[in-house]
Structure 1
Amino acid sequence: MSQQEVALVTGGSAGIGRAICEALLAQGRTVVNLDYKEPDWGHDKLLSFQADLTQPQETREIARQVTSSYAVTALVNNAGATRPGTIDTATMDDLDYVVDLHFKASIILVQAALPTLRASRRGRIVNMSSRAGLGKAQRVVYSATKAGLIGMTRTLALELGGDGITVNAVAPGPIATELFRQSNPDGAPQTKRIIDSIVVGRLGTPEDVARAAMFFLSPDNGFVTGQVLYVCGGTTLGVAPI
């Protein structure tokens, strides 16, 4: 390919996205990060672009800008938002927000990157789902869209496998990110309840999730596609199907 090959990661400025970016950079890969905020960290192979991925037109424009300059051979649709609420309190604005961010942005970016993903014959797509996709109280719009990402993952795997492109999903459970700690401070009773519910007895880390994503992103793992890997410390045991 004449263009520089890159891995494109959304929401890479912090949390799980940052850990994925750092893991890719540690392999010597060039990484493009799309996020609504600039990262407070840097690397000589990290290229960051600010974009509000809840705005489809803005997403299309940044996707066009990136794919016209770089050959995307790996794509991680990681950016997400929870918008907590029960069926009694969820609003259509909440629903529109997570649909735009989780679904529309992912589809726009896949479509934009398809030419170089196909040309590489080893394209990799990872979609960030969630353990909440199996059902989680007070997360009605979030869990619905995260479950939908699994359906999209399986369909894309069927459609793109003949092009050498694998499409898989990672579904984290409770992960100790800055966002998690804002709602669940260290030492708070609800945080203890969450930790007590985890089979391995601890919260996950962004690096735990990044290692799972890196398995799917490896050019050597071309025989695994359409799969969901729960990185949840065992919280899906007895819930997820075999």
Structure 2
Amino acid sequence: MSEPQEVTLVTGGSSGIGRAICEALLAQGRAVVNLDCKAPDWRHDRLVSLQADLTRQDQLEASARHIAATWAVTALVNNAGATRPGSIDTATMADLDDVVGLHLKAAIVLTQAALPALRASGRGRIVNIASRAALGKPERVVYAATKAGLIGLTRTLAMELGADGITVNAVAPGPIATELFRTSNPEGAPQTRRILDSIVVKRLGTPEDVARAALFFLAPDNGFVTGQVLYVCGGTTLGVAPV
């Protein structure tokens, strides 16, 4: 019986940052499984795309079982996310349940499912896509809270899994020109102008900027960097993030 194919699993890989990460991995010759709520409008010979609503426990767990039984996941990128804008006055428990499911439950369930293959490889890699908002951002109560939780998860998993040769790191994007960003920050709006003015390098980031950071952590020979958070933010965290 042949060994299962080694793959990198990326959640939310149909568009935006997730797509850029998938494309960068494919360009390196890797096989990629994309798990997203929507099908991608692009194709590649080494890309398999699966659909599931990761905020639904039944679909999340079924997808995790199927992937673990079909492939050897030697690298995992927990990227799927949703902002759910709102202040403490307007945030709802439905919003909180959705982003906890997407940012935290999905990361934990998929990590658990992938652990046997990650451990067996001796060089497993996990990258969690957090956010600069974890440092605090008005009108992003549930989003900032769960992204901060993802950073805590990253650091804890790094401590628990390091002896297995598994590294766990986080990439925390700042303002990135994606559909998600444009929806929450309409062009010409005052808050959008404030964001642009705060960027030291004087441009929005691109999904490819984030993908390059993720590839650094995912490199098979990069086994001595773990538990770290890399802000891909154009300098917006300067004076805010701890040294």
Matched, 1:232 2:233: yes
The Cα of 1:57 is off from its aligned counterpart by 1.7
* Residue 36 of structure 1: aligned partner: 37
Return the letter of the residue paired with 1:105: A
* Residue 217 of structure 2: aligned partner: 216
What's the TM-score once normalised by structure 1's chain length? Answer: 0.98
Distance 2:193 2:90 in 1: 26
Distance 1:188 1:158 in 2: 42
- Flag structure 1 segments of 5+ consecutive residues without an equivalent: none
Equivalent pair of 2:74/2:121 in contact (CA under 8 Å): yes
Return the letter of the residue paired with 2:120: A
Cα displacement string for residues 78-124 of structure 1 (whole angstroms, at most 9, x for unaligned residues): 00001111111111111111101111011000000000000000000
* Residue 110 of structure 1: aligned partner: 111
* Residue 22 of structure 1: aligned partner: 23
The Cα of 1:191 is off from its aligned counterpart by 3.0
The Cα of 1:179 is off from its aligned counterpart by 1.8
The Cα of 1:224 is off from its aligned counterpart by 0.2
Distance 1:83 1:43 in 2: 31
Distance 2:143 2:184 in 1: 16
The Cα of 1:184 is off from its aligned counterpart by 3.1
- Flag structure 2 segments of 5+ consecutive residues without an equivalent: none
The Cα of 1:221 is off from its aligned counterpart by 0.5
Aligned length: 242
* Residue 148 of structure 1: aligned partner: 149
The Cα of 1:8 is off from its aligned counterpart by 0.1
* Residue 131 of structure 1: aligned partner: 132
Equivalent pair of 2:85/2:184 in contact (CA under 8 Å): no
* Residue 61 of structure 1: aligned partner: 62
Distance 2:137 2:186 in 1: 20
What is the CA RMSD across the aligned residues, in angstroms? 1.1
Return the letter of the residue paired with 2:196: I
Distance 2:180 2:174 in 1: 14
Distance 2:169 2:209 in 1: 16
The Cα of 1:212 is off from its aligned counterpart by 0.3
**SS across alignment from 1:52:** coil
Q: Percent identity?
A: 78
Return the letter of the residue paired with 2:118: L
**SS across alignment from 2:29:** coil
1:92–1:187 distance in 2 versus 1, CA, 3 Å: closer
* Residue 201 of structure 2: aligned partner: 200
Return the letter of the residue paired with 2:117: T
* Residue 168 of structure 1: aligned partner: 169
Cα displacement string for residues 122-180 of structure 1 (whole angstroms, at most 9, x for unaligned residues): 00000011000000001011100000111100000000000000000000000000121
* Residue 178 of structure 1: aligned partner: 179
